């Protein structure tokens, strides 16, 4: 019955006016498809951003190395007022008898302002260091690609875990609906006098168990969404609504059909292999730069400026010179550095060879897992169909009074296990497809 007191209407009206705009402004959940998650992770995940910054650092080192070959220009000037102690010079100046130099000589003023230009004309070592820095950029770029691949695969798996958790929530709700229906059926049978009270108790026990399992499933779904948000670099409290369900066609990538073709694609596209090859190239180029340090270096320097006792009496002076430097011996430090880079290059070759073998193993393992998971999918789907038939038949027998509800409860437990098995089989097949795309170096193309 509505209140006729006008004083009570004001708080209700005020609350409605405040709550309505807030409800309108509340942001909806982030709708996220599987392809969106992979694309966002491969381009915006924190690990990918850090890898991009490391590539920027490598490119900055190229500019630093190139600076040794570019002109240098500087401007400097100074004014000096100086006095000398003649007794500290160590020279006895001939002077007439009775005369001598004063102990303090000066002060003397000196003004100088100068422009200076330097240029390296020939330095093979610096040129080789530029090439080594560029090789490091290629390696850093490949490492960034490897991080992006890992982020894409991680986001794909996180999305699949959310999809599995959502499927489990749907299954647990279906279990709860079946359990509630059986409670009603058991109660009707008891009221009709064709069933004992124990049947109602058993049915209610199953209903309570189904409610508890639903709570667990909801908790796992929330945790999976938090993990997905963190994988994508989002705030963990960001509400996420996935738009793709756990189906047989969820993770798709342009992976060839045969193992040999997949391995060939992987050897071309795997960024971790490209990064290892680039590291070896950088080490070999660095060694050549060290060896080039033994060669002569030719530099030219020129300056022009004003020099004098005061600015008004200063005159223009200049200097130009060419310098040739030939390193002879540095205590065998160059030889040690060159030996270090040789060891780094050989180490990289060993890792690259092992990685090529690991790629083939990854492809074979992923194909075996995918074949097994697809077979399990077929078996699980058939088991689920049979469990649903068994449940329907057991319910009919109980409703007809020819069997107790213990038979129905057993069929219900079998249906529950069949649903979980079907979900797990679909999840295993989906993760196997992700693993195969990762093995081929195509995780970023998953959709």
Domain residues for the domain of 245 are 28-74+122-296+333-445
Q: Residue holding tokens 């080594």? A: 132
In the prediction, which pLDDT does 6 show? Answer: 46
Determine, yes or no, domain membership for 308: no
Q: Facing residues of 74 across strands?
A: 116
Determine, yes or no, domain membership for 93: no
In the prediction, which pLDDT does 2 show? Answer: 42
Determine, yes or no, domain membership for 59: yes
In the prediction, which pLDDT does 18 show? Answer: 36
In the prediction, which pLDDT does 292 show? Answer: 86
pLDDT in tens, 43-76: 888 888 898 999 999 899 999 988 888 899 999 9
Cα(111)–Cα(204) distance, integer angstroms: 103
Residue 10 CA from chain centroid, whole number = 54
0.85 exceeded by pTM: no
How many domains, the chain? Answer: 1
Q: Which residues of the chain have pLDDT under 50?
A: 1-24
Q: Residue holding tokens 């986001």? A: 155
Q: Facing residues of 117 across strands?
A: 73, 302
Determine, yes or no, domain membership for 432: yes
Cα(122)–Cα(296) distance, integer angstroms: 8
Q: Collapse the DSSP code of 439 into the 3-class scheme (helix H, G, I; strand E, B; otherwise coil) and give the result.
A: helix
For residue 331, is it left (φ>0), alpha (ψ between -120 and 50) or beta?
left
**425 touches 380 (CB < 8 A):** yes
In the prediction, which pLDDT does 91 show? Answer: 65
Q: Which residues are CB-neighbours of 142 under 8 A, at least 6 positions away? A: 271, 272, 274, 275, 277, 278
Determine, yes or no, domain membership for 289: yes
Q: Give the residue from 396, 424, 412, 408 showing the smallest Cα distance to 175.
A: 412
Q: Which residues are CB-neighbours of 335 under 8 A, at least 6 positions away? A: none
Q: Give the residue from 37, 51, 47, 39 showing the smallest Cα distance to 229.
A: 37
In the prediction, which pLDDT does 39 show? Answer: 92
CATH number at residue 400: 1.20.1600.10
**93 touches 101 (CB < 8 A):** yes
Residue positions counted in the chain = 447
**230 touches 154 (CB < 8 A):** no
Q: Which residues of 236-256 are buried (b: 16+ CB within 10 A; e: fewer)?
A: eebebebebebeeebbebebe
In the prediction, which pLDDT does 15 show? Answer: 43
Cα(444)–Cα(254) distance, integer angstroms: 10
Q: Collapse the DSSP code of 229 into the 3-class scheme (helix H, G, I; strand E, B; otherwise coil) and give the result.
A: helix
Q: Residue holding tokens 């077979």? A: 375
**428 touches 132 (CB < 8 A):** no
Query: Tokens in use for 163?
Result: 């999809």
In the prediction, which pLDDT does 11 show? Answer: 41
Q: How many other CB atoms are found less than 10 A from the CB of residue 12?
A: 10
Let me know the angle formed at the C-alpha of 51 by 65 and 150, rounded to the nearest 5 degrees: 140
> If you ran DSSP here, which 8-state letter would residue 32 be given?
E
In the prediction, which pLDDT does 100 show? Answer: 63
């Amino acid at each position: 019955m509505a209140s006729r007191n006008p004083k009570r209407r004001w708080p209700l009206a005020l609350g409605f006016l405040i709550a309505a705009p807030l409800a309108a402004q509340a942001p909806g959940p982030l709708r996220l498809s599987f392809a969106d998650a992979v694309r966002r992770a491969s381009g915006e995940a924190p690990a990918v951003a850090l890898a991009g910054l490391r590539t920027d650092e490598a490119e900055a080192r190229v500019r630093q190395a190139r600076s040794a070959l570019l002109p240098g220009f500087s401007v400097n000037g100074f004014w000096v007022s100086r006095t000398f102690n003649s007794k500290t010079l160590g020279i006895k100046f001939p002077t007439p008898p009775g005369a001598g130099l004063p102990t303090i000589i000066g002060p003397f003023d000196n003004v100088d302002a100068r422009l200076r230009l330097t240029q390296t004309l020939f330095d093979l070592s610096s040129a080789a260091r530029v090439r080594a820095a560029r090789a490091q950029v290629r390696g850093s770029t490949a490492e960034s690609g490897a991080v992006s691949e890992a982020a894409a695969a991680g986001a794909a798996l996180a999305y699949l875990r959310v999809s599995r958790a959502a499927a489990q929530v749907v299954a647990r709700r279906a279990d709860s609906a079946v359990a509630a229906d059986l409670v009603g059926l058991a109660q009707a049978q008891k009221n009709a006098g064709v069933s004992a009270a124990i049947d109602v108790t058993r049915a209610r026990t199953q209903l309570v168990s189904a409610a508890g399992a639903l709570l667990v499933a909801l908790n796992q779904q929330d945790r999976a969404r938090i993990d997905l948000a963190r994988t994508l670099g989002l705030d963990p409290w960001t509400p996420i609504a996935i738009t793709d369900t756990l189906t047989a066609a969820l993770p798709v990538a342009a992976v060839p059909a045969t193992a040999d073709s997949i391995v060939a694609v992987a050897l071309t596209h795997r960024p971790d292999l490209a990064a290892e090859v680039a590291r070896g190239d950088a080490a070999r180029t660095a060694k050549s730069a060290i060896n080039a340090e033994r060669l002569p270096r030719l530099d030219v320097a020129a300056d022009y400026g004003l020099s004098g006792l005061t600015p008004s009496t200063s005159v223009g002076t200049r200097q130009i010179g060419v310098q040739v430097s030939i390193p002879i011996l540095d205590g065998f430090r160059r030889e040690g550095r060159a030996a270090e880079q040789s060891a780094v290059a050989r180490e990289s070759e060993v890792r690259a060879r092992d990685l090529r073998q690991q790629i083939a193993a990854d492809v074979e393992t992923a194909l075996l897992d995918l074949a097994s998971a697809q077979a399990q999918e077929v078996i699980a789907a058939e088991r689920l169909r049979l469990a649903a038939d068994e449940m329907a038949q057991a319910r009919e027998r109980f409703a007809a009074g020819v069997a107790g509800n213990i038979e129905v409860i057993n069929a219900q437990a079998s249906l529950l296990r069949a649903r979980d098995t079907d979900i797990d089989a679909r999840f295993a097949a989906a993760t196997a497809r992700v693993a195969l795309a990762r093995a081929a170096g195509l995780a970023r193309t998953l959709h």
